[in-house]
Amino acid sequence: MRLSASLAALAASLAALAAARSAAGDRLLVVADDAAQYSDLLAALARRGFAVDVRAAANTSVALSEDGRRLYDHAALLAPAAKRVGAGLTAQAFVRFVNDGGNLLVAASSAASDLHRALAAQFGAEFARPGSRVVDHQARNATADHATVAAAIARPAAAAPILSPDLRGPVYFRGIAHRCDPANPLLTPVLTAARSTYSTPLADPPLAGRALALVSVLQTRRNARVAISGSADLFSDALAPTNRRFVRDLLQWTFQEKAVLRETAHSHRLAGAAAADAAAAVTAATHQPEHYRIGNDIVYDIALSVYHDDAWHPYVADDVQFEAIMLDPYLRLTLNRTRAKDTATATATATASATYRGRFKLPDRYGTFTFRVNYKRTGYSNVDVRDTVAIWPLRHDEYPRFLTAAYPYYVGSLVMVLGFLALCAVWLWSADPAALANNHHHPAQPPNDNADDDAAAAAAAAAKSKSKPSKSKQKQKQKSS
């Protein structure tokens, strides 16, 4: 049993090795007019397991999709001056490709065509005016035209997963700058220029210094990745000696070879059910009731794994948050990692994941809640897990039965019942009016004594009702006669 399980795990890991090293697939289209210029890059890509398909831009057989299905998992547009690609691949076709989940690298140059501009604009990157280029007169390895600039690696606070932390040193860039549209929340610059850099010819307002982006990345809401570079030369053999590591990091990220985050399982259940079997807790949804009741104790589990270095690893973080939302968040708590779970799932499924768990008590509010883990960190894939959960009010017999505060009322009703019984007893067994002569036995009797004297006496109501039926019987008799 154990042997077969480990064999299966081995087979699975072998299969993982044989497969592409990108988490998204291995079919890569490279559109390059002069492929020889990128031989270093292409060789590296092939080495990393990509099935690289290099096509010239003018090749009319280039297509991104066929019958509505993608032909490639990734595309690199390394033809910076191409006015058109293939038979008629428009910017729309590339956007559709990305919307279908393909990853895309767009590399332009000073001669960037309308295609590049239109495409980059859709991702929120606005290239500088046609023909303009980035210039830095203080660059250390300045060429004659000062157009190869040493760019600084932008490290936005949370962009660590995109570029390795130990990546240092200048990256050389020759091409066109772009401006990031602040309205697009998904776009992040990863390569920015030194303060002395500017785009020439000058525009109004001038594009210079920090405002000017050289390479930006964007991850779509559905986790496709796009990199936009103003320079195709950045990827060329000529600049490879300095740029190789940056290019590797950038493309590894873009083609989903790292920082791919996913949720492998999540569940929520009543806290009581969790203790019963802890091992299968994450994967099994068997303990999820149709709905919860207010105030229930709930355990929420979510397993996250991250892809890098050819395999899925447990994703370790201390900021995984859970929310229970009904219009507004009623609960927000940070989930804690449960260590025991990692190994268990690792052996079970060849993918390792880290399990995060939260225990909480549902609010005293019924309605349709959304249990949500909305984990979005720059560079990592978005994880947005939602469960719509109905929280019902208590059943009619689930409310507390006896309340201390209500004891006076209980006593009250009890006294009422006893009093009524006592009255009945007194009424039934008290003296017959005819035996009035037999003096007093009960001091409380006088009203009764008067009853037959005065027919209108209120206490005689019951007596009346005794006499009534006979009257109505008489009437019925009249009717029938």
Partner 1 sequence: MGGSSKVLGLTAADQASLLRLAILGLISVVAIGSRLYSVIRFESVIHEFDPWFNYRTTQYLVKNGFDKFWNWFDETAWYPLGRVVGGTLYPGIMVTSAAIYNALHLVNVPVDIRNVCVFLAPVFSALTAVATYQLGKEVKSATAGLLAAAFIGIAPGYISRSVAGSYDNEGIAIFLLVLTFFLWLRAVRLGSALYGALTATAYFYMVSAWGGYVFIINLIPLHVFALLAMGRYSNRLYVAYSTFYALGTLASMQIPFVGFQPTFTSEHMAALGTFGLIQLVAFAQFLRGLMPARHFQVVVRGALVGLFAAGAGALVVLTMRGVIAPWTGRFYSLWDTGYAKIHIPIIASVSEHQPTPWTNFFFDLNLLMVLLPAGIYFSFRELTDNHVFLILYSLFAAYFASVMVRLILTLTPIVCVMAGIAMANALEAYLDFRSSSNNDGGGSGDAAQPADTQNSSSTEPSGAKRMHGWLGRTVVVVNLMYFLWMFQFHCSWITSSAYSSPSVVLASRGPDGSQHIIDDFREAYYWLRKNTRADARVLSWWDYGYQLAGMADRPTLVDNNTWNNTHIATVGKIMASDENTAYELARRHDVDYVLVVFGAMLGYSGDDINKFLWMIRIAQGVYPDDVSEQAFFTAGGEYAIDDSASAAMRASLMHKLSYYRFNEVMGQHGFDRVRRQQLPTKVELSNFAEAYTTENWMVRIYKVKELDNLGRRHRAAMAFDGGS
Binding site for partner 1 (CB under 8 A): 90-93, 95-96, 98-99, 118, 122-124, 183-187, 218, 220-222, 224, 291, 326-327, 366-370, 388, 390, 392-393, 395-396, 447, 450, 453-454, 456-461, 464-465, 468-469, 472, 475, 478-479
**Residue number, 122 or 296, with CB nearest to partner 1:** 122
What CA–CA distances, in Å, run from 48 to 247, 262, 300? 13, 22, 38
Tally the C-alpha atoms within 13 A of residue 436's C-alpha that lie toward its C-beta.
10
148 CB neighbour count, 10 Å cutoff: 24
Q: How far is the CB of 471 from partner 1 (least distance, A)?
A: 8
**Residue number, 33 or 387, with CB nearest to partner 1:** 387
**Residue number, 140 or 395, with CB nearest to partner 1:** 395
For 263, residues 6+ apart whose C-beta sits below 8 A from its C-beta are: 302, 303, 304, 373, 383, 385
**Residue number, 92 or 138, with CB nearest to partner 1:** 92
Contact at 8 Å (CB) between 78 and 107?
yes
Omega of the bond prior to 80 within 30 degrees of 0, cis?
Answer: no
Q: How far is the CB of 412 from partner 1 (least distance, A)?
A: 14
Beta bridge partners of 66: 69
Q: Token digits for 385?
A: 């897990």
Contact at 8 Å (CB) between 301 and 266?
yes
**Residues 92, 95, 101, CA angle at the centre, nearest 5°?**
145
Beta bridge partners of 269: 299
Q: How far is the CB of 38 from partner 1 (least distance, A)?
A: 26
Q: How far is the CB of 395 from partner 1 (least distance, A)?
A: 5
Q: How far is the CB of 103 from partner 1 (least distance, A)?
A: 13
CA 23 – CA 16 distance, rounded (Å)? 10
Amino acid at 239: L
**Residue number, 436 or 461, with CB nearest to partner 1:** 461
327 class by beta-carbon count within 10 Å (0-12 exposed, 13-18 middle, 19+ buried): exposed
Q: How far is the CB of 149 from partner 1 (least distance, A)?
A: 28
What CA–CA distances, in Å, run from 59 to 37, 82, 88, 359, 425? 18, 11, 10, 59, 110
**Residue number, 95 or 317, with CB nearest to partner 1:** 95
Q: How far is the CB of 387 from partner 1 (least distance, A)?
A: 11
Q: How far is the CB of 453 from partner 1 (least distance, A)?
A: 7
**Residue number, 33 or 100, with CB nearest to partner 1:** 100
**Residue number, 110 or 381, with CB nearest to partner 1:** 381
